Amino acid sequence: MLAIGTLSQRTGVKVPTIRYYEEIGLLAPPGRSAGGQRRYGADDVARLRFIRHARDLGFGLEAIRSLLDLAAHPDRFCAEANALAMAQLRDVQARVARLRRLEGELQRIVAACDGGHPAAECGVLDALADHDGCTGPH
């Protein structure tokens, strides 16, 4: 049986975060030692690693809850898991597209000023004040 700190080390999830996951019902309340401390088993390690991995991939906790639910019922069909992963992929792709536009605007803005002027002539401040100078929408 593992203490919470050991579970934390084995999964890379911080101790308060583990307790938070328990609080919101993502992790089942574990057994306790005689003195009342949490004790975890191998199942908890696997479950928490799953959560960690999905979080790293940008899934929200509600999506993760659905995925875990699905994984707990191996006889159900996994169309939902597929749909969740596809939604996540589309979300990531949309964010990349948006960030790349921002990157372009920021490069333009940074190039407008080398930092050596009085603020009155600063290209950065001008660019922020004037959206019309932007190449596209954001």
Is there binding between residue 34 and a second copy (CB under 8 A)? no
Is there binding between residue 6 and DNA (CB under 7 A)? yes
Residue with token string 């069909």 = 77
Burial class (CB in 10 A: 0-12, 13-18, 19+), 101: middle
For the bound state, the minimum distance from the C-beta of residue 138 to DNA, rounded and expressed in Å, comes to 14
**With contact defined as beta carbons under 8 Å apart, do 113 and 123 qualify?**
yes
Task: Using alpha carbons, list the distances in angstroms from residue 58 to 85, 87, 92.
Answer: 10, 11, 8
The backbone region for 52, taken as left when phi is positive above 0, alpha when psi lies in -120 to 50, beta otherwise, is alpha
Of 42-101, binders to a second copy (CB under 8 A) are 46, 49-50, 52-54, 56-58, 67, 70-71, 73-86, 88-89, 92-93, 95-96, 99-100
The most distant pair of C-alpha atoms in the chain lies apart, rounded to whole Å, by 69
Residue 14 binds which entry of a second copy, DNA, none, with Cβ cut-offs from 5 to 8 Å by kind? DNA
Of 118-137, binders to a second copy (CB under 8 A) are 118-122, 124-125, 128-129, 131
Q: Based on CB atoms, which residue is closest to a second copy, 35 or 116?
A: 116
For a second copy, the binding residues (CB under 8 A) are 46, 49-50, 52-54, 56-58, 67, 70-71, 73-86, 88-89, 92-93, 95-96, 99-100, 102-103, 105-107, 109-110, 113-122, 124-125, 128-129, 131, 138
